Each structure stands twice: as C-alpha cells, then as structure tokens.
C-alpha cells in the first residue's frame, strides 16, 4: 500500500546512511585494534631481539628494527634515563605535523573527521605532549610495563588529530623497558578513502531515492489531481456526465478512493435524476386535480341549477381530498430516505407486529367482504432489525392493496417465517394478479394499477413505492410473484436479513 511505499523510500536512504556510518566506525575500530596489536607484537619482538644481542650490536639492531617497523624504538633503564633511540643518527620514521602550517583542505577534512567521531560517539584519546618526553616518567605505559612485567599499549592523539600508538614491554634479562611508538596516520588515510567510497555509494542511493520519490509522487499526485478535477466539475455541476476515473488497475488506497468517488458520483447522479423525475411526476399528478378543482370552482359561479351545484361541490370536495392525500404521500416519500438514515433500528418480532395489525385490517376487509388469515410464527422466531413504524406502514400498504384487489368472498393470506437465514413475509390474495411485464413498474412512484370497480383518485399511486423504499432501507427486498398453488391472484414477498441478537 501507499504507506508501505512511502516508508520504504524514506527508510531506504536513511538505512544506507546509518549503515555507512556504523560500518565506517567499525572499520576504523578494527584498523585501530589491529595496529595496536601489531605495535605490541613488534615491541615484544624488539625487546626479545635486543635482550639477546651483544652490547655493541644493540644500537645498530635498534635502528634497523625501527626502520623495518616504521616506528620509533627507545630503551629506558630502571632509573628512567633514555639509553637508546632508533632516531639517533638516522631519519625519523614519522613526523608530527603542526596543524597551523597545513592548508585549508586539511582543516576541512579534519572537521569532517571530528563530526564523524561525534556522530558515532568515538572515544577521544589524550593528546600527545610535544615534544615527546625523554624520560621514563613521560610514558605511563612504560612505567606500567616495567612494574607489571607485561606489554602495555596506549593511544594518544597527535597534534594534527591522527592516532599515536605506543607499546612498552619489559626486557627481562637487562631490567630495561623497550618503547615502540608510531604516528598511525595511515589509519586516517584509509578511513578517508573508505569514506569517500561510501559517500559515492550514498550519492547514488540518494539519486535512486529521489527518482523513486518522483515516481511515487507521480503515482500519487497525478491520479489525485485527476480525481480533484472530476470532483470540482461535479461540485460546479457544469458537466452532466462527469467521468470520474475508476483506476481499476490500482489496488491501493488511491484505487479505493477513485472507485469510491466514482460510485458516489454515480449514486449522486442517480439521486439527482430521481429527484428531477419525482419533481416532474409530482407536478403532473398535482396538475390534474388542480385543473379539475379550478374548473369546478369557475363553473360554480355560472351554474344556477341546485343539482348541478351539488355535483360541482362534490367534485370540489373529491379533488380537495385527493390533493390532501397526494400531498401527505408526497411529503412522506420525500422524507423517507432521510428518516430511515437517521432511524435507530432495534430488534422487531415481525410475527408480533403483523398480529397487532390484523384487528385494523379486519374492518376494511369486512367492508369488501374479504377474509384475512394470518399464520403467526413462533414468538421470537422471525426477528429483524428495523423501525417499527416504518415497517408497519410498508406491510399495511401491501395488505391494503391485497384487500382492494380481492373479489367478494376472497381470502388474503399472510405468513411470516425464517427461511435460510432470512425473514420472509408473504401476502397472497385471490385477485387478478399482476401481469409479468408490470411487476417492476408497479413499484414506481405514481404508477397506479387499480381495480376496475374502484373510483378514480382513491389512491395516490405511492403506496407500493413507499413500501419498496422502506423495505430496501432495511436492507431487504420486495417483489411481486405468482402464487405457488397456481391459483389466480398476486403474491407479494418481503425478505429481510435476520436480526443479529
């Protein structure tokens, strides 16, 4: 995902930098430890060789050992006096440089060295006293070696910042102590060369990291800009058919966002289209009773016949009732989605709910000589999550519709049961049924398919639409089907998900 990509790119360069620093520190430490061990070995060899040499051979042997080891060898007696020095009469094997006499590039390199040492927390050895002491007391390691009888090493910092290594070892046969010292400038040179190599690797790594960052920015910023432009067009409403990129090849957060925005835009467009269609339908449905009402009112002033006047008053009364019914149902449909989105659903026993409605349906059914039969399920066996008042209205609309279409002596059967994890409610009547080609259309708003013997304008054509919107708002479905027993009539089926108690 995007988070992993961003973290990987940012951590990649940092990991290379940190790894380089710690590698370089370990490399320098190993070089230092190796140099100290070499100095101790060479001091021991020099001590053994000088102990075995004849007195007249020792001076020459000391100088040759100093030249071969690239170090300075000195021998002190027990009183602390300097007896021999490999530099006497020969060229020094190393030099201690004065930093003030070096050019600016050396100062820059030394500053980088100091910064590096501070970053890794490298220990800082004590400074070397210049000029070097000519008595045993000036060399604590030699004093310690003389007392302990063992080789003792010590690190110091030369004036130019390089490592100064010394190793002292006692000469058992003569009671003297040999001191080997060198300015290990080569350690700093090797470390600087290695650091230069690592710097080149780091620059390559940074270049790769920048390229990866640009690639990542392109894979993030470009699609986000496309989505932002599409969202802006949707907001301004200047493009009726705004095409929001879905980015089907993206399986990360950007792809999820793109598909969510595309689905949201499609849903929004569908809702706008539905609202516009609903507004047009409302206008059309209201114009008919209003035109009839207007015609009746205008005619009433011009009619003197009392009989005609009563007929016109009846028409006015009928149109007012019809308008009132339309306005109430339209208001309910318009706020249904909003109310369902805010409703607090709770577990409802559909069987108990329908049982409480049966006494209200019976007077309507008796008026049309229709019987009602309800097979009540076992208590608590048909539980759904929902809004009781809304479910009541939806079921009431369907049952009222069944009563209206049932012939005299007909039977409206209602059942509710749990089937395969769903609560299924069936409402069956013995009317003419619903033609197969109209089973989807009857749930549309203002679609009215009424019995032939029913007076015009008794229904708004919104009852089934309200029932469908209510059921779908409860994550259910409603459909019109043929009866399973092959008898004439309609069968309306509600399906709700089972409540998770």
Mean of per-residue pLDDT scores for the chain: 81
* pLDDT score recorded for residue 194: 81
Helix, strand, coil percentages in the chain from 3-state DSSP, rounded to 5: 55, 15, 25
* CATH (domain of 80): 3.30.450.20
**Alpha carbon distance 179, 157 (integer Å):** 17
Q: Does 202 map to a domain?
A: no
Q: Does 359 map to a domain?
A: yes
Classify residue 70 by its DSSP letter: T
* Residue whose entry in the numeric block shows the structure tokens 């004590």: 126
The token duo for 407 is 């012939």
Q: Distance of alpha carbon 42 from its chain centroid, rounded?
A: 63
Task: Classify strands 346-349 and 477-482 as parallel, antiparallel or unpaired.
Answer: unpaired
Residues 296 and 263 in one domain: yes
**Mean pLDDT calculated for residue range 120-127:** 82
**Alpha carbon distance 304, 132 (integer Å):** 141
Which domain does 252 fall in, by range? 244-342
**Alpha carbon distance 418, 495 (integer Å):** 10
Residues 371 and 297 in one domain: no
CA geometry: angle 138, 141, 143, nearest 5 deg: 70
Indicate if the pLDDT at residue 151 is higher than 80.
yes
Bin 489: left if φ > 0, else alpha if -120 < ψ < 50, else beta.
Answer: left
Count of CB atoms situated within 10 Å of the CB of 301: 8
* pLDDT score recorded for residue 97: 85
3-state secondary structure 100-158: HHCCHHHHHHHHHHHHHHHHHCCCCCCECCCCCCCCHHHCHHHHHHHHHCCCEEEEEEC
**Alpha carbon distance 263, 407 (integer Å):** 46
**Alpha carbon distance 415, 240 (integer Å):** 46
Q: Does 266 map to a domain?
A: yes
Q: Does 82 map to a domain?
A: yes
Domain boundary among 134, 165, 196: 196
Indicate if the pLDDT at residue 395 is higher than 70.
yes
* pLDDT score recorded for residue 432: 87
**Alpha carbon distance 149, 79 (integer Å):** 16
* CATH (domain of 289): 1.10.287.130
Residues 27 and 53 in one domain: yes
Determine what percent of the chain is predicted with pLDDT higher than 90: 24
* Residue whose entry in the numeric block shows the structure tokens 């004849």: 54
Bin 247: left if φ > 0, else alpha if -120 < ψ < 50, else beta.
Answer: left
Classify residue 421 by its DSSP letter: T
Q: Does 276 map to a domain?
A: yes
Would you call 33 exposed, middle or buried from its count of C-beta atoms within 10 A (0-12, 13-18, 19+)?
exposed
CA geometry: angle 330, 363, 409, nearest 5 deg: 105
3 state DSSP class of 55: helix
CA distances from 200 to 76, 77, 206, 465 (A): 48, 52, 10, 73
The token duo for 135 is 């008595």
**According to the per-residue pLDDT averaged within each range, which of 10-14, 111-115, 317-321, 392-396 is highest?**
392-396
Residue 430's contacts (CB-CB under 8 Å, 6 or more residues apart) are 406, 407, 410, 411, 412, 487, 488, 489
* Residue whose entry in the numeric block shows the structure tokens 């490999």: 86
Residues 162 and 254 in one domain: no
Concatenated DSSP letters of 261-327: HHHHHHHHHHHHHHHHHHHHHHHHHHHHHHHHHHHHHHHHTT---HHHHHHHHHHHHHHHHHHHHHH
pLDDT band for 39, please (50, 70, 90 cuts).
Answer: very high
Bin 237: left if φ > 0, else alpha if -120 < ψ < 50, else beta.
Answer: left
Residue 289's contacts (CB-CB under 8 Å, 6 or more residues apart) are 319, 322, 323, 326, 457
Q: Does 488 map to a domain?
A: yes
Residues 311 and 371 in one domain: no
Residues 349 and 407 in one domain: yes
Residues 330 and 349 in one domain: no
Are 482 and 467 contacting, i.e. CB atoms less than 8 angstroms apart? Answer: no
Residues 134 and 14 in one domain: yes
Q: Does 234 map to a domain?
A: no
Any idea which of 148-162, 271-285, 315-329, 352-366 has the lowest mean pLDDT?
A: 271-285
Domain boundary among 196, 217, 235: 196
Q: Does 223 map to a domain?
A: no
pLDDT band for 457, please (50, 70, 90 cuts).
Answer: very low
**Mean pLDDT calculated for residue range 148-164:** 91
Are 153 and 141 contacting, i.e. CB atoms less than 8 angstroms apart? Answer: yes
* pLDDT score recorded for residue 263: 78
Indicate if the pLDDT at residue 236 is higher than 60.
yes
Residues 353 and 423 in one domain: yes
Residues 39 and 134 in one domain: yes
Indicate if the pLDDT at residue 453 is higher than 60.
no
Q: How many domains does the chain have?
A: 3
Residues 95 and 174 in one domain: yes
Domain boundary among 300, 321, 342: 342
Residues 54 and 179 in one domain: yes
Alpha helices (H) along 149-252: 185-236
* CATH (domain of 408): 3.30.565.10
């Amino acid at each position: 995902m995007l988070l992993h990509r961003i973290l990987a790119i940012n951590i990649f360069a940092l990991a290379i930098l940190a790894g380089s620093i710690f590698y370089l520190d370990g490399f320098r430490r190993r070089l230092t430890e190796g140099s100290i061990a070499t100095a101790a070995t060479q001091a021991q060899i020099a001590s053994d060789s000088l102990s075995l040499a004849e007195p007249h051979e020792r001076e020459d042997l000391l100088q040759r050992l100093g030249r071969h080891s690239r170090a300075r060898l000195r021998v002190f007696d027990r009183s602390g006096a300097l007896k021999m020095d490999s530099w006497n009469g020969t060229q020094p094997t190393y030099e201690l440089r004065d930093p003030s006499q070096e050019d600016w590039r050396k100062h820059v390199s030394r500053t980088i060295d100091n910064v590096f040492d501070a970053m890794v927390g490298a220990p800082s050895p004590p400074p070397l006293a210049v000029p070097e002491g000519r008595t045993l007391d000036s060399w604590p390691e030699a004093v310690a070696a003389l007392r302990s009888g063992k080789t003792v090493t010590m690190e110091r910092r030369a004036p130019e910042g390089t490592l100064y290594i010394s190793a002292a070892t006692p000469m058992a046969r003569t009671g003297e102590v040999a001191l080997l010292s060198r300015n290990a400038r080569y350690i700093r040179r090797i470390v600087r060369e290695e650091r230069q190599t690592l710097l080149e690797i780091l620059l390559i790594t940074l270049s790769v990291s920048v390229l990866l960052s640009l690639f990542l920015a392109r894979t993030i910023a470009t699609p986000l800009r496309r989505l932002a432009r599409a969202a802006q067009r949707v907001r301004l409403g200047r493009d009726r058919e705004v095409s929001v990129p879905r980015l089907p090849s993206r399986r990360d957060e950007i792809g999820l966002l793109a598909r969510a925005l595309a689905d949201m835009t499609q849903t929004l467009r569908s809702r706008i289209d539905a609202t516009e269609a609903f507004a047009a339908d409302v206008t059309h449905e209201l114009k008919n009773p209003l035109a009839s009402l207007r015609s009746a009112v205008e005619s009433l002033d011009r009619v003197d016949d009392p009989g005609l006047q009563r007929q016109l008053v009846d028409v006015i009364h009928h149109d007012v009732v019809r308008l009132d019914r339309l306005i109430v149902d339209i208001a309910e449909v318009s706020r249904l989605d909003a109310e369902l989105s805010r409703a607090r659903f709770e577990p409802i026993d559909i069987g108990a709910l329908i049982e409480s409605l049966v006494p209200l349906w019976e007077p309507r059914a008796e008026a049309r000589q229709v019987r009602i039969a309800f097979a009540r399920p076992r208590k608590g066996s048909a539980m759904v999550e929902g809004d009781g008042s809304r479910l009541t209205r939806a079921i009431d609309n369907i049952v009222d519709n069944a009563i209206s279409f049932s012939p005299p002596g007909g039977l409206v059967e209602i059942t509710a049961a749990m089937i395969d994890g769903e609560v299924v409610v069936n409402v069956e009547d013995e009317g003419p049924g619903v033609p197969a080609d109209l089973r989807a259309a009857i749930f549309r708003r203002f679609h009215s398919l009424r019995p032939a013997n029913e007076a015009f304008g008794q229904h708004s054509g919104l009852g089934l639409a309200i029932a469908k919107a209510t059921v779908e708002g409860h994550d259910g479905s409603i459909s019109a089907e043929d009866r399973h027993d092959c008898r004439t009539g309609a069968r309306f089926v509600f399906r709700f998900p089972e409540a998770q108690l």
